[in-house]
Chain A
Amino acid sequence: MSDDILVEVRDLKVHFPIRRGVIFDRTVGHVKAVDGVDLRIPRGKTYGLVGESGCGKSTLGRALLQLNPPTSGEVSFDGVELTTLPAGKLRTMRRRMQMIFQDPMSSLDPRQNVESILTEGLQTHGIGTDRDDRRRIIGETLDKVGLPRWALSRYPHEFSGGQRQRIGIARALVLGPELIVADEPVSALDVSIQAQVVNLLDELQETLGLTYLVIAHDLAVVRHISDTVGVMYLGALVEEAPADRLYNEPLHPYTRALMSAVPVPDPDVEDRRERILLSGDLPSPANPPSGCRFHTRCPWAQPTRCADERPVLRDIGGSRVACHFAEPIASGELRPHQVKTQLTRPAGEGEEPHSVSAPSEPGSYV
């Protein structure tokens, strides 16, 4: 199985500069959206990426497709290194890797009808010999995603949310890709529609042998469609495991807290379960905590190592976990303790920090 890896990411970093100043544009720091991620996706499998907003999961997905240029690191797709590929070659590679976006309304051009949306990619990549041939390809794609043929002459606003997402999926599928990066594919949809799209993605994978990278904040959705799940926190993977194992035996404290926070639609389960409540919010990725990034909120944080040594992903019985104390926590040797809430400032909102009245705690501002 290891020789059939479609995508391999090695030490990928995406840093966005924070710029200040009007005349002299200077860089005062970096938002480390993705800070050293390694992952591999086997062909025909689904890799689920979960994490809370701002953890860098979308940036990782975009960097993988080279939509955001990575700061450093390597991305190889079917043995081809993408980060150093010339633009023209990269464009031809794009046919094999497509993206499905979260909000189908804002990712589809309101002034293009469905046929035009679907033809554009075909023309760019020179697929199909003439108009009739392209029509045939498009028609087949519409059947695959369960849209009627009359949809071709309609515009995106004439469809419901679920149908729009099907158009977005058809747009990705029409080129016959091998890898699909789906960024929050169902989070804008209602529950009953969500299930239809999740089922559709499942069916397409079975019939077409697609490889998925599914990025979502909803753990239940990710659990449902993924073979392997990676959990991100502040730009790095904290745990990666086969889906069943991750959900049955979460090892990283953050994964445990995340699992326990997801509501389950079953009163018996809800009443029985033990909640691990995290205190405070996600720290700013521009100024991440030293050592283990989770130590400021971790109920199991220890005075040694956690604050000054960044844990690397290591293998523990089939999972990869970035925690110094994963084993004693799993065995119950270490007990959780109370964590004092630290105030986090929202990033990218409101005024510049230095123009706000005196900061209450040094370093607490972005």
Chain B
Amino acid sequence: MALLEVEDLSVTFARRGQRTVHAVDGVSFSVDAGEVVGLVGESGCGKSVTSLAIMGLLPKQPGLAVGGKAVFDGTDLLQLDDRSRRDIRGRDIAMIFQDPLSSLNPVIPIGLQVTEVLTRHRGMKGAAAEKEAAELLDRVGIPDPRRRLKEYPHQLSGGMRQRALIAMAVACQPRLLIADEPTTALDVTIQAQILELLKGLVRDSDTALLMITHDLGVVAGMCDTVNVLYAGRVVETARRRPLFREPRHPYTVGLLGSVPRLDAGRGERLNAIPGSVRDVLPWPDGCAFAPRCERRVDACVGEPPALVLAHHGRSYRCVNPAPVAGYAPGDDVRAVVPTQAQPGSVPAQAVPDDPPTVPGLGPAPREEESA
């Protein structure tokens, strides 16, 4: 039994007068205890919304609907009431966000923000809590931790802020840590420090880590299992080495071909994926990737492809996957699971950014919007 089992998770945003946006569309994956699992995808593919839905952090607003299951250690997180969810959050599941400056409170000293977690979940108070907080800061590599406790977030550099945030997240030794682009805002040498720190923490405490990132390099160095997302659907799941060595889904193949590599020569053409998600409207009924896909066949259009379970715990949603050595096409298929994805649903990736508002010239806000 996996520690976290996400089944057919869907998040939809209904928009007035327009088609509903399926930000997450039938996403399923699992995280075992002590395992590092990656959710990889480009912006708008639904990776962050997935993590927010699991944590119950999506705003409660009309038009936003969350469906499916996220079973953590036997309890469905999506069915919990706010109180019991707050008990789990921070204690059993903790989260690290991308931008440490906006996730730390700017007017409260670091120390108080760390001890808050200890007080809420471990009932520690006063000097004991402060001592523990200092030890936590020391563990994440912040120099002179006692003095840092009295300082405010703006007095720390980006890397140190991210360390403080990690200290808060691991304060209660959670069983699952969700890191949403933890190093995207950081420079590459600082990124290496933070990734090394996360690796160490996970190894030493047997914490499971759900790593959300767009960086395939980070995934290659950290994750045991990788889920590739495209347009709100998991298109391929595989262990780390097989995924990078023999990607099956054409999107994964394209993604790997698009990344310039440090150890490749000058001037080798990158195999870019043609087009972009935004060019593809009206949204197709079948495979969301079909309009940009080089391996497209007639069967791709019509309805979303079923989930194919293949060898070595690999699965993909594709009717014409890239071939692998040693298997004839179709030979490695273990089972086919019918899809839960909605045909023709519009993913968040395809929604254009709002046009910029020009002062004084934009359309007046409609009444129901301003109210």
Contacts and interface: CB of A to CB of B under 8 A. Distances in A.
Nearest to B350: A160
A191 B218 CA distance: 14
Contact of A360 (B144, B190, B191, B258): B144
Interface stretch (B60-68, B87-95, B262-270, B300-308): B262-270
Given A281-B160, A343-B160, A195 B192 contact: no
Contact of B261 (A258, A259, A264, A356): A264
B18 interface: no
A55 B279 CA distance: 37
B121 interface: no
Nearest to B256: A265
A345 B157 CA distance: 6
A192 B272 contact: yes
B370 interface: no
Interface string A170-192: 00000000000000000000111
Nearest to A265: B216
Contacts of B361: 111
B254 A192 contact: yes
B260 A264 contact: no
Given A244-B265, A343-B144, A260 B271 contact: no
Interface string B48-73: 00000000000000000000000000
Contact of A349 (B141, B154, B241, B356): B154
Bin chain B's interface residue count: 35 or more
A132 interface: no
Nearest to B45: A190
Interface in A183-215: 190-196, 198-199, 202
Contacts of B267: 202, 224-225
Query: Max chain A CB contacts within 10 Å: which of B220, B244, B266?
Result: B266
A94 interface: no
B188 A261 contact: yes
Nearest to A284: B157
A289 to B, nearest CB: 16
Contacts of A277: 189, 192-193, 196
A204 to B, nearest CB: 14
Interface in A136-163: 155, 157-158, 160-163
B141 A341 contact: yes
A18 B168 CA distance: 35
A224 B264 contact: yes
A337 to B, nearest CB: 17
Nearest to A343: B143
Contacts of A266: 220, 244, 261, 263
A277 to B, nearest CB: 6
Contact of B270 (A111, A199, A265, A356): A199
Contacts of A264: 217, 220-221, 261-263
Given A111-B358, A190-B42, A227-B266, A267 B241 contact: yes
Contacts of B278: 160
A264 B201 CA distance: 22
Interface residues of A, number: 70
B276 A193 contact: yes
Contact of A191 (B152, B259, B356): B259
B273 interface: yes
Interface in B81-106: none
Contacts of A163: 276
A261 B217 contact: no
Given A52-B187, A191-B42, A262-B188, A281 B157 contact: yes
A224 B264 CA distance: 8
Given A202-B269, A247-B263, A356 B155 contact: yes
A247 B263 CA distance: 8
Contacts of B124: none
Could you say which of B189, B218, B263, B277 has the most chain A C-beta atoms within 10 Å of its C-beta?
B189
A163 B276 CA distance: 9
Interface string B339-360: 0000000000000110110100
A318 B10 CA distance: 57
A279 B144 CA distance: 14
Given A191-B255, A192-B272, A345-B157, A263 B260 contact: no
A357 B154 CA distance: 13
Given A160-B279, A265-B217, A220 B141 contact: no
A52 B187 CA distance: 6
Contacts of B353: 157
B262 A344 contact: no
Interface in A7-57: 52-53
Nearest to B185: A53
Contacts of B141: 341
Contact of A267 (B147, B191, B196, B240): B240
B43 interface: yes
Interface string A228-251: 000000000000000110010000
B266 A223 contact: yes
B229 interface: no
Interface string B152-182: 1011111110000000000000000000000
Given A160-B279, A257-B189, A263-B220, A244 B241 contact: no
A68 interface: no
Contacts of B156: 346
Given A195-B258, A262-B217, A278 B189 contact: yes
A110 B270 CA distance: 31
B259 A52 contact: no
Given A190-B214, A277-B196, A345-B157, A157 B355 contact: yes
Given A227-B266, A265-B259, A341-B141, 18 more contacts: A160-B277, A163-B276, A191-B42, A191-B259, A192-B255, A192-B258, A192-B272, A195-B273, A261-B188, A261-B189, A263-B218, A264-B220, A266-B220, A278-B189, A278-B192, A279-B193, A282-B187, A343-B157
25 contacts: A52-B188, A52-B190, A110-B355, A110-B358, A160-B277, A190-B276, A191-B214, A191-B259, A192-B42, A192-B254, A192-B255, A198-B270, A199-B272, A219-B262, A247-B262, A258-B188, A260-B192, A262-B262, A263-B195, A266-B220, A278-B189, A278-B193, A281-B159, A343-B157, A346-B157
Interface of B: 42-43, 141, 143-144, 147, 150, 152, 154-160, 187-193, 195-196, 214-221, 240-241, 244, 254-274, 276-279, 352-353, 355-356, 358, 361
The 8 closest A-B pairs by CB, nearest first: A263-B217, A350-B154, A195-B272, A195-B258, A261-B192, A224-B260, A265-B216, A52-B187
